[in-house]
Amino acid sequence: MGGFGYLFLVGLERQGPGMKQPIAGYHKDIENHWVAQLGCGHNQHVRHDPPWVNRPWVITPEGRESMLGFELDCKKCDLGAPPDEQP
């Protein structure tokens, strides 16, 4: 494999396990989807969209609160991305 597609895939290739970051809070995006605010300053969608993504805890305030501190793989940290804007 060569060319642009090869360079793009190599640039996104993960080295080892993902960087784990704790959920520090939540907000909703412009499309009304829940977004976790991670301790590293990055944002990550936490949708409940069965059968593809099963996160029933996202639906209720109690469920979201119970997941504060839970660590998610932060792909943006893996890529060395700067922190996201927080609402």
pTM of the shown model: 0.77
Phi, psi of 49 (to 5 degrees): -140, 65
Confidence of residue 17 (pLDDT cuts 50, 70, 90): low
Q: How far apart are CA 80 and CA 83, in angstroms?
A: 9
With a cut of 90, say whether residue 8 has pLDDT above it.
Answer: no
- Domains delineated in the chain: 18-78 (2.40.50)
Confidence of residue 50 (pLDDT cuts 50, 70, 90): confident
